């Protein structure tokens, strides 16, 4: 079964999770999501696999979050998903996908949930 990681090489947590996958003998497909942002459809599917609401997957401390007014509680899921697709730096990372399951690996030890 293939494994994919939404990876940001400049993120220490993302590097730790990638190393843990490799130590477990898994060479994942690496999705550099900042260069290849997920579409709104992909994000909706990913959120379903994660069992998360869009706002929970957003980097709310990111300056851009405030600048775009994404803290407005009246915004619907579609608007938040579109914002993440257009501005992938808003997406929390790393995310590991294996089959129908996806895990936001924060802290990095959560990668064990997809290894087992």
Active site (annotated) includes residue 11:
yes
pLDDT digits (tens, 9 = 90+) for 56-108: 999 999 999 999 999 999 999 999 999 999 999 999 999 999 999 999 999 99
The C-alpha atoms of residue 104 and residue 23 are separated, in whole angstroms, by 19
Backbone conformation region of residue 111, classed left if phi is above 0, alpha if psi is from -120 to 50, else beta: alpha
Angle at 40 between CA 28 and CA 59, to 5 degrees: 70
State the first-to-last Cα distance of the chain, in angstroms, to the nearest integer: 13
Range(s) of the domain holding residue 68: 3-115
Q: What is the mean pLDDT of residues 22-38?
A: 97
The pLDDT, as a whole number, for residue 10 is 97
The C-alpha atoms of residue 49 and residue 102 are separated, in whole angstroms, by 5
Task: Decide: 108 and 13 in contact? Cβ < 8 Å.
Answer: yes
Single pTM value for the model: 0.94
Q: Give the total number of structural domains in the chain.
A: 1
Q: Which of 1, 5, 7, 11 is catalytic?
A: 11
CATH number of the domain to which 79 belongs: 3.40.30.10
Q: What is the mean pLDDT of residues 30-53?
A: 97
Angle at 77 between CA 72 and CA 79, to 5 degrees: 65
pLDDT digits (tens, 9 = 90+) for 7-21: 999 999 999 999 999
């Amino acid at each position: 079964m293939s494994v994919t990681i939404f990876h940001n090489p400049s993120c220490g947590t993302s590097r730790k999770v990638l190393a843990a996958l490799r130590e477990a003998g898994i060479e994942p497909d690496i999705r550099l999501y900042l260069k290849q942002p997920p579409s709104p459809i992909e994000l909706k599917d990913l959120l379903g696999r994660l069992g998360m609401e869009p706002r929970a997957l957003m980097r709310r401390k990111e300056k851009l979050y405030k600048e775009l007014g994404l803290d407005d509680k009246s915004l619907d899921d579609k608007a938040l998903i579109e914002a993440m697709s257009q501005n992938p730096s808003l997406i929390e990372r790393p995310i590991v996908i294996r089959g129908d399951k996806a895990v936001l690996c924060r802290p990095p030890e959560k990668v064990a949930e997809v290894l087992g």
